[in-house]
Amino acid sequence: GDLHKSLDAAVAACGAGEPTGPKCWAVVDAAAAPAQALQKVLSAGGQLGVVIVAQSGPVSQMAVLRAMEYSEVYVAAVELGAGANEVLRAAASYAGGPSVVLLAAPAAVRGDAQWTAFTYDPRREDAEGASAFQAHGTEVRKEIQAFLSRESLLTLVAKRSLPADSAEGAGEGDDLTQGLADASKTVTILYTSDTGHAEECAKAVARQCRNGGYATSAVRCGTLDSFDVGALASESLVVFCVATAGKGEFPGNGRGFWEKLNARVGDVSLAGTKYAMFGLGDSHYWGKGTEDSRINFAKPARDLDAVLEQLGGQRLIPTGYGD
Ligand SMILES: Cc1cc2nc3c(=O)[nH]c(=O)nc-3n(C[C@H](O)[C@H](O)[C@H](O)COP(=O)(O)O)c2cc1C
């Protein structure tokens, strides 16, 4: 790909290009606090490549840690010379989304017990079912360890939410019982989102479900409005990621679903449906601590949660919120 003069220039060039084309690269200085700029880049997605160069210690790995939280991104931290070429080649060939490489001068990390050289390549999960994360040494700094244990916790949750009989029956041949069990081993993840955060959450949940043992085709992920309200009762497990727009309103791609669901209250039972709700909002949006904030914080998620409960839906885990 091309090397651009600044991150903004690379974002601009990439935004205009084909999403599948070669990467637009930018090199940024670790001393220039790249975390915030990076956040913008990562939420924009696309075929961006960012190399963060750290010339002096101590080297913060916070930016690359944050980067790993986006599902489709190649992330690495490596010392110049210690296999850096190979890492950069892998970063350049990653077509699933942006690539972020922290490149440290050997002197900057020499003697730094916290420094963790690693690669995080989602292709490992897709192709080999392996962990996307690989540390290159034996020491993994505690922030990264915490990230990894959270990831595996999510995978564990996904595994445990599989219907018990189908999980046990896996690999027992294709008799009718097995077929029926497999048919119930699906999860539907529905989101409503104006600026992409809830969508990002939903996709992360979908990825974790696949890592946790669901077949790829058994994990469906789409907007609330793309989903037929009438089919809700026949779903065994639905995960909702619901953002807030306007003043406590559903985002644009969820309003239709919400209206239709309300029209059916009274003549639909969700007794056979397990669900989990994650609500996104901003408690500062209408003034932290105010009555307006109390009423409107993550209101659509809370409203939908209440209606699902009223219709007999079984809450799988306590409702979570992202403020
Ligand atoms: C125009 C606008 C209005 C918002 N109104 C609210 C609100 O009333 N209550 C709330 O909790 N959050 C509100 N938020 C915050 C969003 O819900 C929050 O930023 C969320 O992460 C956005 O998710 P999305 O990117 O999936 O749309 C608002 C955000 C915007 C941009």
To test the pocket of ligand 1, the residue of 194, 293, 296 to mutate (highest count of ligand atoms within 8 Å of its CB) is: 194
Mean pLDDT, range 234-261, rounded to an integer: 96
Distance 245 CA to ligand 1 centre (A): 5
Angstrom distance (rounded) from CA 44 to CA 53: 22
For residue 258, give both structure tokens. Answer: 């919400």
Q: Which residue has the tokens 């690359």?
A: 64
What confidence category does residue 155 fall into, taking pLDDT thresholds of 50, 70 and 90? Answer: low
Which residue, judged by its Cα, is nearest atom 31 of ligand 1? Answer: 245
Which helix or strand (DSSP H or E) is residue 121 part of? Answer: none
- pLDDT score for 305: 97
If you count them, how many residues does the chain have? 323
Pocket mutation for ligand 1, best pick of 221, 280, 284, 294 (most atoms within 8 Å of C-beta) = 280
Q: Which of 195, 282, 283, 286 to mutate to test the pocket of ligand 1 (most atoms within 8 A of CB)?
A: 282
Helix locations, the chain, DSSP H: 7-16, 35-44, 62-68, 84-93, 106-109, 122-128, 142-160, 164-169, 176-184, 197-211, 255-264, 291-296, 299-310
pLDDT at 114 over 90: no
For residue 175, pLDDT over 50 is answered with: no
* 8 A C-beta contact, residue 310 and residue 268: no
Quote the tokens at residue 99.
């690539």
238 or 133, greater pLDDT: 238
Domains in the chain: boundaries:
2-151, 175-322
- Tell me the C-alpha distance between 56 and 104, whole Å: 8
Interval between CA 68 and ligand 1 midpoint (Å): 23
**Identical fold at 2-151 and 175-322?**
yes
Whether the pLDDT of residue 192 is over 70: the answer is: yes
Q: Which atom of ligand 1 is nearest to the CA of 248?
A: 8
In the block, which residue shows the tokens 């939908």?
A: 304
Predicted ipTM beyond 0.90: yes
pLDDT by residue (tens digit) across 208-240?
A: 887 777 888 888 999 999 999 999 999 999 999
At 256 the pLDDT is: 97
Q: Which residue has the higher pLDDT, 211 or 310?
A: 310
Atom of ligand 1 nearest to the CA of 201: 26
Cβ–Cβ under 8 Å, residues 148 and 65:
no
∠ CA 315-319-322, nearest 5°, is 155
What confidence score (pLDDT) does residue 8 get?
82
* Percentage of the chain exceeding pLDDT 70: 84
Indicate the burial class of 231 (C-beta count within 10 angstroms; 0-12, 13-18, 19 or more).
exposed
Q: Are 139 and 77 in contact (CB under 8 A)?
A: no
The helix-helix angle for 197-211 and 142-160 (nearest 10°) equals 70
Predicted pLDDT of residue 16: 52
Identify the helix (H) or strand (E) that includes residue 279.
strand 274-280
Give the pLDDT confidence score for residue 13 in this predicted structure.
Answer: 79
Choosing among 3.40.50.720, 3.40.50.300, 3.40.50.360, 3.30.70.270, the CATH entry for 175-322 is 3.40.50.360
- In this prediction, residue 176 has a pLDDT band, given cuts at 50, 70 and 90, of very low
Distance from Cα 240 to the centre of ligand 1, integer Å: 16
Query: What is the C-alpha to C-alpha distance for residues 323 and 242, in angstroms, rounded to an integer?
Result: 12
Ligand 1 pocket by C-beta < 6 Å: which residues? 193-199, 243-248, 251, 280-282, 285-286, 296-298
pLDDT of residue 207: 85
Q: What is the mean pLDDT of residues 271-281?
A: 95
How does the average pLDDT of the chain come out, rounded?
84
Task: Provide the pLDDT for residue 128.
Answer: 63
Ligand 1 atom at minimum distance from 298 CA? 11
Overall CATH class of domain 2-151: alpha beta
Is residue 248 within 8 Å of 296, Cβ to Cβ? Answer: yes
| One-letter amino acid for residue 117 of the chain | A
Q: Which residue has the higher pLDDT, 49 or 183?
A: 49
Q: Do β-strands 237-242 and 187-192 pair in parallel, antiparallel, or remain unpaired?
A: parallel
Q: What is the pLDDT of residue 132?
A: 82
What pLDDT was estimated at residue 307?
Answer: 97
Residue 172 in this model has a pLDDT that exceeds 80: no
Helix (H) or strand (E) holding 132: none
In the prediction, which pLDDT does 269 show? 95
245: three-class secondary structure by DSSP: strand
Rounded-to-integer distance, Cα 282 and Cα 226, Å: 25
